[in-house]
Amino acid sequence: MLKYSIVIATYKRAADLRETLASLSGLQPDGPWEVIVVDNNSPDDTRAVVEQAAATFPVALRYLFERQQGRSPALNAGIVAARGEIIATTDDDVRVPADWLNRAAEGLERMHCDYVGGRVLPIWGAPRPLWLPNHGGKQWAVIALLDYGQQPLEFGARVPLGVNMAFRRSAFEAAGVFDPNTGRKAGTLLGQEVREWCIRARAAGVRGFYIPEMQLEHVIPADRLRKTYFRRWFYWRGISRAMLYERAGLDMEAPERTTLDFSRVPHIFGVPRYLYRKALASAGAWMHALIKGDPLAAFDHEVWLWFFAGIVKQRWADTRTHVVPKPATVK
């Protein structure tokens, strides 16, 4: 068996994928490895890019095609096909240091855990706008960036990003693979597949840690550094969280910290009543920040309102079939 398998799910980003594969070809891991690219119905020349790169790639570079649309089905196809003891996941628009896989393996051994995730730092495709923090914060998640600091920490209240994770094969045997009904799909910005898996894995006794030394860079294109993209992302986050709420009764603001039995919480149109109060407070804080001329604070409050709008939209649809969510089972 190989020591490492790298799984990349890709859709319609052949040019980005070409550069990512060039970066991966410079890896110098401490054991045999492979790369698996899962094409999720790309209409471009993704397959040709992979086959061209495979001709000179230092190890096996395998192409798979996954017809079921969505990031989760594509990742699952790659995970099932992987031959490595350690399975790493990343995206088609990253740059990795030569020791990336070694850092992942060291972290798994040092923390005696089942999976690890690390820093994701930016390669800006355009100047960073004033309303976007330069370091950390919830808005970094929109563009798949992450930095939890200099010290390791156990995942729980905080979760990793799928662009920079590595798993022991046994983690998937214990917790299963990613939910095919959760996560990014073409035409949407759904994106809770990693969070849902981490919650399910924790319940199965699978432990994961943030490893600061395991880091890579993520290319952030100019078209994602616009407020319109961030608004749309938070709106879809609200929809995604409402879907988890409907299925498992998980707190829509912090699913991994669910403590309430929401079947006992007052609702209005399927939404917990206290969220309406928070929406009114956020609207007031948004206006106050605008008047003060604080673009960071103003946009932070605004995107929460877009998040709330997504919740309301999805919960209104859910109430037609199932009004009260199941009690949460997360500990």
In this structure, are residues 37 and 63 in contact, taking their beta carbons and an 8 Å threshold? Answer: yes
Q: Rounded to whole angstroms, how far apart are CA atoms 81 and 311?
A: 36
DSSP state of 5: E
In this structure, are residues 92 and 39 in contact, taking their beta carbons and an 8 Å threshold? Answer: no
Q: Report the SS3 class of residue 56.
A: coil
Would the pTM of this model clear 0.75, i.e. be above it?
yes
Domains detected in the chain = 2-225 (3.90.550.10), 228-318 (no CATH)
Where do the DSSP E strands lie in the chain? 2-10, 33-39, 60-65, 84-90, 94-95, 115-124, 153-154, 165-168, 208-220, 267-268, 271-272
Section 116-122 average pLDDT: 97
**CB-CB neighbours of 237 under 10 Å:** 23
Q: Which residues contact 262 (CB under 8 A, 6 or more apart)?
A: 245, 249, 251, 272, 324, 325, 327, 328
Q: Write out pLDDT tens, residues 169-200.
A: 999 999 999 998 776 666 666 668 898 899 99
Q: Report the SS3 class of residue 18.
A: helix
| Token pair belonging to 123 | 């390669």
Residue that has been written with the tokens 């616009």 in this structure: 226
Q: Write out pLDDT tens, residues 133-148.
A: 887 777 898 999 999 9
Q: Write out pLDDT tens, residues 67-94.
A: 999 899 999 999 999 999 999 999 999 9
| Token pair belonging to 112 | 């005696």
| Token pair belonging to 308 | 């709330």
Q: Rounded to whole angstroms, how far apart are CA atoms 265 and 201?
A: 27
